[in-house]
A and B are shown apart, each in its own frame.
Chain A
Amino acid sequence: EPEVTQTPSHQVTQMGQEVILRCVPISNHLYFYWYRQILGQKVEFLVSFYNNEISEKSEIFDDQFSVERPDGSNFTLKIRSTKLEDSAMYFCASSLTRGKEGYTFGSGTRLTVV
């Protein structure tokens, strides 16, 4: 069964450093997403991406965050200057159609900011 692959599975970074979280969506999918889950809290939407541009973003997704699909297969989330409160599990997801059939999520990257 096709999978969404995320790397690394765990990233530890110092506060103020830039991090890039990587995702390889399912190859024929057209819509791409990032969600995050802070420990003990709910999964929250960050951003959706379609046709090489952001189609929707939440208020969490401020200027510190950016997304890119640099080479047609990878989909990345960059956090420019990490803060302690960015520590969370970050999930990438992709879908063939726009959302209602359910996304396929990756296993997540646990980001720890120290």
Chain B
Amino acid sequence: DQQVKQNSPSLSVQEGRISILNCDYTNSMFDYFLWYKKYPAEGPTFLISISSIKDKNEDGRFTVFLNKSAKHLSLHIVPSQPGDSAVYFCAAIGDGAGSYQLTFGKGTKLSVIP
């Protein structure tokens, strides 16, 4: 059961360039999407979110894009910095039945090379 999929387990990007992390979902009832960042030996940290009624949300260097028809979202980090190196999790909320549990993808490990 993979309702949220992150098909790239890892991504390497040069410092200063754009990092694009992708996420696909299958459950059309999801109404809110979140990105979390995780460093080793720490818990996930909330990064940015987007409601299903929007197609873009921006916060500083981070932008999340949502394409509902394709059931696809992406996180853009511009410019990428070495401190951005972490595992990034895509998560979704909402099943139409009042559930607020987060459904996570498996994560993408981002390495930003100085």
Contacts and interface: CB of A to CB of B under 8 A. Distances in A.
A, B in one complex? yes
Contact of B101 (A4, A56, A91): A56
Contacts of A101: 46, 49
A21 to B, nearest CB: 13
Interface residues of A, number: 24
B43 A107 contact: yes
Query: Chain B, interface size: which category?
Result: 20 to 34
Contacts, number: 57
Find the residue from A42, A44, A101 having the highest chain B CB count within 10 A.
A42
Contacts of A105: 36, 43-45
Find the residue from B32, B43, B104 having the highest chain A CB count within 10 A.
B43
B86 interface: no
Nearest to B34: A102
Interface of B: 4, 32, 34, 36, 41-46, 49, 89, 91, 93, 99-107
28 contacts: A4-B43, A42-B4, A42-B104, A43-B89, A43-B91, A43-B102, A44-B104, A45-B101, A45-B102, A48-B100, A48-B101, A58-B101, A91-B43, A99-B101, A99-B102, A100-B93, A100-B100, A102-B36, A102-B49, A103-B46, A103-B102, A105-B36, A105-B43, A105-B44, A106-B43, A107-B43, A108-B42, A108-B43
